[in-house]
Amino acid sequence: MGNWLILGATSGIAIPLNRELAKRGNRLLLAARDQERLDIVKNDLHARFNVEVQTELFDALDHINHPAFIDRVEQEFGHLDGVVWAIGILGKQKQAEEDYKKAYAIIDANYLSAVSILEPIAEKFQKRKTGQIIAISSVAGDRGRATNYIYGSAKAGLSAYMQGLRQRLAKSGVHVMTVKPGVVDTKMIEGEETMPFIAKPDKVALEIMNGIQKRREVIYTPGLWRFIMISLRHIPEFLFKRLSF
Protein backbone atom coordinates (compact mmCIF):
# COMPACT_ATOMS: atom_id res chain seq x y z
CA MET A 1 0.00 0.00 0.00
CA GLY A 2 1.11 3.54 -0.67
CA ASN A 3 0.36 6.98 -2.02
CA TRP A 4 0.00 7.08 -5.81
CA LEU A 5 -0.33 10.08 -8.11
CA ILE A 6 -2.02 9.30 -11.43
CA LEU A 7 -1.31 11.98 -14.05
CA GLY A 8 -3.98 11.75 -16.73
CA ALA A 9 -6.25 9.83 -14.38
CA THR A 10 -9.29 10.05 -16.67
CA SER A 11 -7.59 8.51 -19.71
CA GLY A 12 -8.75 5.22 -21.20
CA ILE A 13 -5.92 3.15 -19.72
CA ALA A 14 -5.69 5.06 -16.43
CA ILE A 15 -9.31 4.44 -15.41
CA PRO A 16 -8.96 0.64 -15.10
CA LEU A 17 -5.44 1.05 -13.71
CA ASN A 18 -6.86 3.27 -10.97
CA ARG A 19 -9.12 0.37 -10.05
CA GLU A 20 -6.24 -2.08 -9.91
CA LEU A 21 -4.33 0.25 -7.59
CA ALA A 22 -7.37 0.96 -5.41
CA LYS A 23 -8.22 -2.73 -5.21
CA ARG A 24 -4.86 -3.23 -3.49
CA GLY A 25 -5.58 -0.59 -0.88
CA ASN A 26 -3.49 2.31 -2.20
CA ARG A 27 -4.40 5.94 -1.55
CA LEU A 28 -4.90 7.69 -4.88
CA LEU A 29 -4.50 11.26 -6.03
CA LEU A 30 -6.15 11.60 -9.42
CA ALA A 31 -4.86 14.47 -11.56
CA ALA A 32 -6.31 15.67 -14.86
CA ARG A 33 -7.69 18.84 -16.42
CA ASP A 34 -11.44 18.11 -16.20
CA GLN A 35 -12.83 18.29 -12.66
CA GLU A 36 -16.22 16.84 -13.60
CA ARG A 37 -14.65 13.70 -15.05
CA LEU A 38 -12.27 13.46 -12.10
CA ASP A 39 -15.22 13.49 -9.70
CA ILE A 40 -16.94 10.70 -11.63
CA VAL A 41 -13.84 8.51 -11.47
CA LYS A 42 -13.27 9.35 -7.80
CA ASN A 43 -16.83 8.47 -6.79
CA ASP A 44 -16.70 5.20 -8.69
CA LEU A 45 -13.45 4.17 -6.96
CA HIS A 46 -14.73 5.09 -3.54
CA ALA A 47 -17.97 3.17 -4.07
CA ARG A 48 -16.17 0.08 -5.37
CA PHE A 49 -13.24 -0.13 -2.97
CA ASN A 50 -13.88 2.27 -0.07
CA VAL A 51 -10.37 3.73 -0.32
CA GLU A 52 -9.21 7.31 0.06
CA VAL A 53 -9.24 9.11 -3.28
CA GLN A 54 -8.45 12.77 -3.82
CA THR A 55 -8.43 14.84 -7.00
CA GLU A 56 -6.31 17.67 -8.31
CA LEU A 57 -6.58 19.74 -11.46
CA PHE A 58 -3.44 19.36 -13.56
CA ASP A 59 -2.35 21.04 -16.78
CA ALA A 60 0.34 18.94 -18.44
CA LEU A 61 1.34 21.84 -20.69
CA ASP A 62 1.95 24.29 -17.82
CA HIS A 63 5.60 23.29 -17.54
CA ILE A 64 6.84 26.17 -15.44
CA ASN A 65 4.48 25.32 -12.57
CA HIS A 66 5.15 21.58 -12.45
CA PRO A 67 7.77 21.68 -9.65
CA ALA A 68 5.42 23.78 -7.48
CA PHE A 69 2.58 21.35 -8.25
CA ILE A 70 4.61 18.41 -6.94
CA ASP A 71 5.69 20.33 -3.83
CA ARG A 72 2.08 21.21 -3.05
CA VAL A 73 0.88 17.66 -3.70
CA GLU A 74 3.36 16.23 -1.22
CA GLN A 75 2.54 18.84 1.38
CA GLU A 76 -1.20 18.19 1.17
CA PHE A 77 -1.40 14.50 0.20
CA GLY A 78 1.79 13.16 1.75
CA HIS A 79 5.02 11.78 0.31
CA LEU A 80 4.40 9.94 -2.92
CA ASP A 81 5.30 6.27 -3.28
CA GLY A 82 4.40 5.97 -6.94
CA VAL A 83 3.56 8.06 -9.98
CA VAL A 84 1.90 7.04 -13.23
CA TRP A 85 2.22 9.18 -16.36
CA ALA A 86 -0.84 8.34 -18.47
CA ILE A 87 -1.14 11.45 -20.65
CA GLY A 88 -0.85 11.53 -24.42
CA ILE A 89 -2.53 12.45 -27.68
CA LEU A 90 -2.39 10.67 -31.02
CA GLY A 91 -3.09 13.66 -33.23
CA LYS A 92 -3.38 13.58 -37.00
CA GLN A 93 -0.20 12.83 -38.91
CA LYS A 94 -1.25 14.68 -42.08
CA GLN A 95 -2.24 17.79 -40.14
CA ALA A 96 1.03 17.68 -38.23
CA GLU A 97 2.97 17.54 -41.51
CA GLU A 98 1.21 20.66 -42.75
CA ASP A 99 1.06 22.69 -39.53
CA TYR A 100 4.01 22.84 -37.14
CA LYS A 101 1.79 24.01 -34.29
CA LYS A 102 -0.11 20.72 -34.49
CA ALA A 103 3.17 18.78 -34.63
CA TYR A 104 4.45 20.65 -31.60
CA ALA A 105 1.23 19.93 -29.69
CA ILE A 106 1.74 16.19 -30.24
CA ILE A 107 5.38 16.37 -29.16
CA ASP A 108 4.57 18.49 -26.13
CA ALA A 109 1.73 16.33 -24.84
CA ASN A 110 3.56 13.05 -25.36
CA TYR A 111 7.14 13.96 -24.45
CA LEU A 112 8.02 17.47 -23.26
CA SER A 113 5.32 17.63 -20.60
CA ALA A 114 6.32 14.20 -19.27
CA VAL A 115 9.93 15.30 -18.81
CA SER A 116 8.76 18.52 -17.17
CA ILE A 117 6.76 16.79 -14.42
CA LEU A 118 8.78 13.60 -13.96
CA GLU A 119 12.11 15.36 -13.35
CA PRO A 120 11.08 17.02 -10.06
CA ILE A 121 9.46 13.74 -9.00
CA ALA A 122 12.64 11.82 -9.84
CA GLU A 123 14.71 14.24 -7.79
CA LYS A 124 12.56 13.68 -4.70
CA PHE A 125 12.56 9.90 -5.12
CA GLN A 126 16.32 9.84 -5.63
CA LYS A 127 16.92 11.73 -2.40
CA ARG A 128 14.56 9.42 -0.49
CA LYS A 129 15.95 6.31 -2.23
CA THR A 130 12.48 4.92 -2.83
CA GLY A 131 9.51 5.23 -5.19
CA GLN A 132 8.10 4.00 -8.48
CA ILE A 133 7.80 5.97 -11.72
CA ILE A 134 5.62 4.43 -14.44
CA ALA A 135 5.16 6.03 -17.86
CA ILE A 136 2.88 4.88 -20.65
CA SER A 137 4.75 5.17 -23.92
CA SER A 138 3.85 3.20 -27.08
CA VAL A 139 5.08 0.58 -29.50
CA ALA A 140 4.89 3.40 -32.07
CA GLY A 141 8.17 4.67 -30.64
CA ASP A 142 10.08 1.52 -31.57
CA ARG A 143 10.34 2.41 -35.26
CA GLY A 144 9.28 5.48 -37.19
CA ARG A 145 6.57 4.87 -39.79
CA ALA A 146 5.24 7.28 -42.39
CA THR A 147 1.69 7.03 -41.06
CA ASN A 148 2.45 8.32 -37.55
CA TYR A 149 6.08 9.42 -37.26
CA ILE A 150 5.35 12.66 -35.37
CA TYR A 151 3.52 10.76 -32.63
CA GLY A 152 5.99 7.87 -32.86
CA SER A 153 9.02 10.13 -32.51
CA ALA A 154 7.55 11.73 -29.38
CA LYS A 155 6.95 8.30 -27.87
CA ALA A 156 10.47 7.24 -28.88
CA GLY A 157 11.74 10.27 -26.98
CA LEU A 158 9.68 9.31 -23.93
CA SER A 159 10.97 5.72 -24.03
CA ALA A 160 14.59 6.92 -24.30
CA TYR A 161 14.02 9.38 -21.46
CA MET A 162 12.64 6.61 -19.24
CA GLN A 163 15.58 4.38 -20.12
CA GLY A 164 18.05 7.07 -19.05
CA LEU A 165 16.03 7.83 -15.92
CA ARG A 166 16.05 4.13 -15.06
CA GLN A 167 19.85 4.04 -15.26
CA ARG A 168 20.17 7.26 -13.25
CA LEU A 169 17.93 6.03 -10.42
CA ALA A 170 19.02 2.38 -10.35
CA LYS A 171 21.47 2.84 -7.47
CA SER A 172 18.82 4.72 -5.49
CA GLY A 173 16.42 1.78 -5.50
CA VAL A 174 13.77 3.68 -7.46
CA HIS A 175 11.72 1.51 -9.81
CA VAL A 176 11.28 3.02 -13.29
CA MET A 177 9.01 1.16 -15.74
CA THR A 178 8.20 1.95 -19.36
CA VAL A 179 4.89 0.65 -20.66
CA LYS A 180 4.59 0.10 -24.40
CA PRO A 181 0.98 -0.66 -25.32
CA GLY A 182 -0.06 -1.64 -28.80
CA VAL A 183 -3.45 -0.48 -30.07
CA VAL A 184 -5.86 -0.10 -27.15
CA ASP A 185 -9.61 0.37 -27.43
CA THR A 186 -9.82 3.93 -26.05
CA LYS A 187 -11.02 7.31 -27.29
CA MET A 188 -7.54 7.92 -28.69
CA ILE A 189 -8.27 5.70 -31.69
CA GLU A 190 -11.84 6.87 -32.35
CA GLY A 191 -12.25 7.74 -36.00
CA GLU A 192 -9.13 5.88 -37.05
CA GLU A 193 -9.13 3.13 -39.63
CA THR A 194 -9.49 -0.45 -38.43
CA MET A 195 -6.34 -1.52 -36.60
CA PRO A 196 -5.04 -5.03 -35.81
CA PHE A 197 -4.71 -6.64 -32.39
CA ILE A 198 -6.85 -4.12 -30.51
CA ALA A 199 -6.64 -4.74 -26.75
CA LYS A 200 -9.16 -3.97 -24.03
CA PRO A 201 -8.07 -1.34 -21.47
CA ASP A 202 -8.88 -3.66 -18.54
CA LYS A 203 -6.40 -6.26 -19.81
CA VAL A 204 -3.72 -3.64 -20.39
CA ALA A 205 -4.26 -2.18 -16.90
CA LEU A 206 -3.91 -5.61 -15.28
CA GLU A 207 -0.66 -6.25 -17.13
CA ILE A 208 0.65 -2.86 -16.02
CA MET A 209 -0.28 -3.68 -12.43
CA ASN A 210 1.54 -7.01 -12.68
CA GLY A 211 4.58 -5.15 -14.02
CA ILE A 212 4.46 -2.73 -11.09
CA GLN A 213 4.29 -5.55 -8.56
CA LYS A 214 7.11 -7.49 -10.22
CA ARG A 215 9.16 -4.31 -10.75
CA ARG A 216 9.57 -4.87 -14.45
CA GLU A 217 11.62 -2.37 -16.44
CA VAL A 218 9.87 -2.47 -19.83
CA ILE A 219 6.63 -4.19 -20.67
CA TYR A 220 4.82 -4.58 -23.97
CA THR A 221 1.08 -5.01 -23.64
CA PRO A 222 -0.39 -7.22 -24.89
CA GLY A 223 2.85 -9.22 -24.87
CA LEU A 224 2.47 -10.19 -28.53
CA TRP A 225 3.65 -6.69 -29.45
CA ARG A 226 7.15 -7.41 -28.17
CA PHE A 227 7.63 -9.97 -30.93
CA ILE A 228 5.89 -7.84 -33.55
CA MET A 229 8.19 -4.91 -32.83
CA ILE A 230 11.31 -7.09 -32.76
CA SER A 231 10.39 -8.18 -36.28
CA LEU A 232 9.72 -4.61 -37.45
CA ARG A 233 12.97 -3.29 -36.02
CA HIS A 234 14.95 -5.90 -37.94
CA ILE A 235 13.50 -5.20 -41.38
CA PRO A 236 16.31 -3.65 -43.46
CA GLU A 237 15.81 0.06 -44.17
CA PHE A 238 15.86 -0.36 -47.95
CA LEU A 239 12.96 -2.81 -47.67
CA PHE A 240 11.14 -0.95 -44.88
CA LYS A 241 10.88 2.16 -47.09
CA ARG A 242 8.79 0.20 -49.59
CA LEU A 243 6.18 -0.83 -47.04
CA SER A 244 2.99 1.18 -46.70
CA PHE A 245 1.80 0.70 -43.13
Strand-by-strand arrangement of the 132-136 sheet: 53-57, 27-32, 3-7, 82-85, 132-136, 175-181, 218-221
Q: Is the dihedral of CA 170, 173, 174, 178 positive or negative?
A: positive
Angle between helices 113-128 and 149-169 (to 10 degrees): 10
> Given the DSSP bridges, would you call strands 82-85 and 3-7 parallel, antiparallel or unpaired?
parallel
Determine the residue type at 20.
Answer: E
How many Å from the N-terminal Cα to the C-terminal Cα in the chain?
A: 43
Residue 106's H or E segment, with its range, is: helix 100-107
CA atoms lying within 13 Å on the CB side of residue 154: 25
Yes or no: say if 178 and 135 are a contact pair by the CB < 8 Å rule.
yes
Cross-strand bridge partners of residue 181: 221
Cross-strand bridge partners of residue 4: 28, 82
CA atoms lying within 13 Å on the CB side of residue 120: 15
Determine the residue type at 135.
Answer: A
Cross-strand bridge partners of residue 136: 179
| Whether 161 is catalytic | no
Q: Which of 100, 104, 151, 220 is catalytic?
A: 151
Catalytic residues: 151
